[in-house]
Amino acid sequence: MTPVHLNHVVEGRGPTLLLGPSLGSTTAMWEPQVAALAERFRVVRYDHRGHGGSPAPDGPYELADLGGDVHALLDTLGVERAHVGGLSLGGMVAMWIAINAPERVDRLALLCTSAKLGPPSMWQERATAVREAGATSVIADAVVERWLTPPYARAHPDLVASLRAMVASTDPAGYAACCGAIERMDLLADLPRIAAPTLVLAAREDPATPPEHAEAIATRIDGARLEVLDDAAHLANLQRPAAVTALLLDHLAG
């Protein structure tokens, strides 16, 4: 598939740091980290195809399509080599780039993600639900319930409302096609090809990508650093912003 031009935001100066968001989220997901990261890096946040301000071409999509979009974004920005990070789907794309275009990746940061995330029926059912409804709002509550721990969600109703709105704003066809890309993804056998210094971060209470998914990634990448945060669910960067920012800065500084 021909790459699409991804909506993106550029802030700061220094070595380029590319950040990809979770399925159903946008560049706004990284807001808690941007100020600190932009003091040291040229931070480029992007929306996956079908998300935020990025176009939603007809599917199906494969992970290679999403990775190709990001590869093309680096070309558009004139960046030969960058630090690459991502959470959930953003982490999957980051792994794809590190495997298939290793010359473009300096350091790699993988947050709350997986190299193979089943069962396939889960993604098929989710894609069918949004296609039949013609809206991602039908799954917004269920998705956001997995993003934050219940006590944190109860204490931050405004954040929960904004996250639900973020999910509901996602193009349903694009979201469904991204579900298909995750359904068919299997990067496990290729992980040993990743040569970039890698941070793998998991959240102890993440029901979407539990710590064992991070362990499966870290054990296959030579020298990878594994960190598991307590008191956080899938969007650990929102629930534990200071801890995640500190880990990213430490890792990216080498």
Looking at residue 34, its amino acid is V
Q: Where are the alpha helices (DSSP H) in the chain?
A: 31-38, 63-77, 89-100, 120-133, 137-147, 150-155, 157-168, 172-184, 211-218, 236-239, 241-252
d(CA 197, CA 179): 28
- List Cα–Cα distances, 121 to 2, 22, 124, 146, 183, in angstroms: 28, 20, 5, 18, 8
Task: Report the CATH number that the domain containing residue 19 is assigned in CATH.
Answer: 3.40.50.1820
Confidence band, pLDDT 50/70/90 cuts, at residue 119: very high
Which pLDDT belongs to residue 254?
Answer: 85
Number of domains into which the chain is organized:
1
Structural domain contains residue 43: yes
Identify whether 122 is part of a domain. no
Location of structure tokens 């290729």: 190
Predicted TM-score (pTM) of this structure: 0.98
pLDDT at 153 over 90: yes
Q: Are 50 and 175 in contact (CB under 8 A)?
A: yes
Sheet of 42-46: strand order equals: 8-11, 42-46, 16-20, 82-87, 105-111, 198-203, 225-229
Could you give the C-alpha distances from 112 to 9, 43, 48, 237, in angstroms and in order?
A: 22, 20, 17, 9
Alpha carbon 233 to its chain centroid, in Å, reads 14
Give pLDDT tens digits for 20-53.
999 999 999 999 999 999 999 999 999 999 999 9
83 domain-assigned? yes
pLDDT at res. 73: 98
Is residue 150 a part of any domain in this protein? no
Give the distance from CA 122 to its chain's centroid.
19
The pLDDT tens digits for 189-212 are 999 999 999 999 999 999 999 999
The answer as to whether 98 is a domain residue is yes
Inside any domain, residue 59:
yes
Q: Is residue 84 part of a domain?
A: yes
Q: Is residue 130 part of a domain?
A: no
